[in-house]
Amino acid sequence: MPRRQTGQRGDTIDPMSDTPKSLYMQRTGVRQYVARNQDGAEIRIVHGPGLFSPGDLLKLAIAGCNAMSSDARLAARLGDDFEQFVGVSADYDQAGDRFTHVDVELVQDMSALSEDEIADLLRRAESAIGRNCTIEHSVVDQALPASRTWTNERID
Task: Write down the pTM of the prediction.
Answer: 0.78
- Indicate the pLDDT class of residue 115, thresholds 50, 70 and 90: very high
* Helix H or strand E encompassing 90: strand 84-93
Per residue in 26-83, pLDDT tens?
999 999 999 999 999 999 999 888 899 999 999 999 999 999 999 999 999 999 999 9
Per residue in 80-105, pLDDT tens?
999 999 999 999 999 999 999 999 99
* Beta-carbon count within 10 A of 79 CB: 10
The domain ranges of the chain are 7-46, 54-152
Q: Residue 6: what pLDDT?
A: 43
CATH H-level superfamily of 54-152: K homology (KH) domain (3.30.300.20)
The DSSP string of 92-143 is EETTTTEEEEEEEEEEE--TTS-HHHHHHHHHHHHHHHHHH-HHIIIIITTT
The DSSP string of 15-65 is TTSS-EEEEEEEEEETTEEEEEETTS-EEEEESSTTSB-HHHHHHHHHHHH
